[in-house]
């Protein structure tokens, strides 16, 4: 391996990566973090579009660098004979191919599943697209905000009666990348038994449906169409943000024992005996009254005061951390969730770490940087590196 990673359960696995921007690259980031060798095949004329997404550090996209760390890069034109020839050499030595084109693109390039499987029977082929390779919307383009809107999560997020809100992280892309990584690893396991690869067809929209959880269950059970609830939970109370003197504090105390402890900590033990609040169902029914009772107390002191008091009392609580707060959190540091990569141009860059901590492998504080465009061509075309 060139981009010499820390090892991991996928050490020895080679992934050919045709993906761009986010859903696919997030999948291959996870695979690289688990030790796979990921060879990013980029298009002539600049490669992955996200190389041009600002903001930049010394002219390099911070975003691109964070999502593509630990990968190698080669530029190939798949509409050109020489490009195809090199690409096919790569496939012959690969375990996995991942792409996130629109449905039909791989077939047009001559690399549809039937052709791939006939020629490379051990190759696992993972397609991660907006709408999948079947159905009336196959072939339509999608972006994160499109599938967040179509898949229902946007209808559940924000304030009741308020304007729509997108989840502030691209969960339309990322969740699809995660499901694709699960499927790739499952297919790798299966191949040790059967000797054969398979095709995965993962759709961003499908993945949004798969994470609707209690909203779907609620609708099927009651016919009630759920809407946004601010920070509240549809069936657990208290489980929300409350105003304090200088901001908010999140409190989760859904069972009666925790609720009693919370009321005692706030100096209002009688609230736990109040018929309006004695059981979770009653608290759900009287959620506004409970919020008024709590906020009358909580707005008398700043968030830090309440966090210290509630942590002492063993009541689950949290500040609403901004990104800078997250990065300063001692638990985040202790878990090595902010790692660094030494980029030859941008210098030391920081990014999120790998959340899958494994007893069998180290979790290094430094990971290899994202590749320069075509940086690894000599190594890759030498057949070296694996």
**Could you list the active site residues?**
233
Cis peptide before 55 (omega within 30 of 0): yes
Contact 25, 69 (CB under 8 A): no
The answer to whether residue 118 forms part of the interface with its own copies (CB under 8 A) is no
Q: Tell me, residue by residue from 184 to 223, as one string, x for binding to its own copies by CB under 8 A and - for no binding.
A: -xxxxxx-xx--x-xxxxxx-xxx-xxxxxxxxxxxxxx-
Contact 18, 25 (CB under 8 A): no
Q: In the bound complex, what is the minimum distance in angstroms from residue 239's beta carbon to its own copies? A: 5
Q: In the bound complex, what is the minimum distance in angstroms from residue 51's beta carbon to its own copies? A: 13
Q: In the bound complex, what is the minimum distance in angstroms from residue 3's beta carbon to its own copies? A: 18
Tell me which of 145, 270, 292, 328 binds its own copies, using CB under 8 A: 145
**Please, is 223 exposed, middle or buried when counting C-beta atoms within 10 Å of its C-beta (0-12, 13-18, 19+)?**
exposed
Residue with tokens 């210098």: 347
Contact 345, 59 (CB under 8 A): yes
Q: In the bound complex, what is the minimum distance in angstroms from residue 86's beta carbon to its own copies? A: 26
**Which stretch, 126-134, 268-276, 287-295, 373-381, contacts its own copies (CB under 8 A)?**
126-134
The answer to whether residue 235 forms part of the interface with its own copies (CB under 8 A) is yes
Q: Tell me, residue by residue from 251 to 290, as one string, x for binding to its own copies by CB under 8 A and - for no binding.
A: -x-x--------------------------x---------
Tell me which of 44, 93, 158, 372 binds its own copies, using CB under 8 A: 158
d(CA 52, CA 49): 6
Nearer to its own copies, 135 or 383 (CB): 135
Q: Please give the structure tokens belonging to residue 46.
A: 């600049």
Phi-psi region of 247 (alpha: psi -120 to 50; beta: other; left: phi over 0): left
Nearer to its own copies, 296 or 326 (CB): 326
d(CA 170, CA 301): 35
d(CA 132, CA 144): 14
Q: In the bound complex, what is the minimum distance in angstroms from residue 297's beta carbon to its own copies? A: 19
CA 23 to chain centre: 9
Q: In the bound complex, what is the minimum distance in angstroms from residue 146's beta carbon to its own copies? A: 4
d(CA 265, CA 315): 9
- Sign of the CA dihedral running 325, 329, 335, 336: positive
Positions in 15-44 near its own copies (CB under 8 A)? 22, 26, 30, 34
Q: Say how many residues touch its own copies, by CB under 8 A.
A: 152
d(CA 178, CA 181): 5
Positions in 78-117 near its own copies (CB under 8 A)? 113, 117
Contact 37, 6 (CB under 8 A): no
**Which stretch, 37-45, 84-92, 289-297, 312-320, contacts its own copies (CB under 8 A)?**
312-320
Tell me which of 101, 111, 120, 239 binds its own copies, using CB under 8 A: 239
Positions in 322-361 near its own copies (CB under 8 A)? 322-327, 329-332, 334-335, 337-338, 349-361
């Amino acid at each position: 391996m060139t981009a010499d990673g820390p090892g991991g359960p996928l050490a020895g696995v080679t992934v050919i990566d045709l993906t761009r921007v986010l859903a696919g690259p997030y999948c291959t980031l996870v695979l690289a973090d688990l030790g796979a060798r990921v060879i990013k095949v980029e298009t002539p004329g600049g490669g992955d579009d996200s190389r041009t997404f600002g903001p930049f550090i010394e002219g390099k996209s911070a975003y691109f660098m964070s999502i593509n760390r630990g990968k190698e890069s080669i530029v190939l034109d798949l509409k050109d004979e020489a490009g195809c020839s090199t690409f096919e050499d790569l496939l012959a030595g690969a375990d996995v191919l991942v792409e996130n084109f629109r449905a039909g693109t791989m077939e047009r390039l001559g690399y549809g599943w039937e052709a791939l499987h006939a020629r490379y029977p051990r190759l696992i082929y993972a397609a991660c697209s907006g709408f999948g390779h079947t159905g009336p919307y196959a072939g339509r383009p999608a972006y994160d905000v499109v599938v967040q809107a179509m898949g229902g999560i946007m209808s559940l997020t924000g304030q009741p009666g308020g304007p729509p809100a997108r989840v502030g992280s691209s969960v339309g892309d990322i969740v699809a990348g995660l499901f694709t990584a699960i499927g790739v690893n499952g297919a790798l396991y299966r191949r040790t038994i059967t000797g054969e690869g398979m095709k995965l067809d993962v759709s961003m929209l499908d993945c949004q449906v798969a994470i609707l959880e209690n909203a779907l269950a609620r609708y099927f059970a009651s016919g009630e169409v759920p809407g946004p609830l601010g920070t509240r939970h549809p069936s657990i109370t208290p489980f929300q943000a409350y105003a304090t003197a200088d901001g908010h504090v999140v409190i989760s105390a859904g069972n009666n024992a925790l609720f009693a402890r919370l009321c005692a900590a706030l100096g209002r033990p009688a609230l736990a005996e109040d018929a309006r609040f004695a059981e979770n169902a009653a608290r759900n029914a009287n959620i506004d009254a409970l919020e008024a009772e709590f906020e009358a107390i909580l707005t008398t002191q700043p968030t830090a005061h309440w966090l210290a008091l509630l942590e002492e009392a063993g009541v689950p609580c949290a500040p609403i951390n901004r990104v800078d707060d997250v990065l300063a959190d001692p638990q985040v540091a202790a878990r090595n969730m902010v790692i660094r990569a030494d980029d030859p141009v941008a210098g030391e860059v920081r990014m999120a770490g790998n959340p899958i901590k494994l007893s069998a492998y180290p979790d290094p504080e430094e990971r290899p940087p994202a590749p320069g465009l075509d940086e690894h061509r000599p190594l890759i075309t030498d057949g070296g590196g694996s």
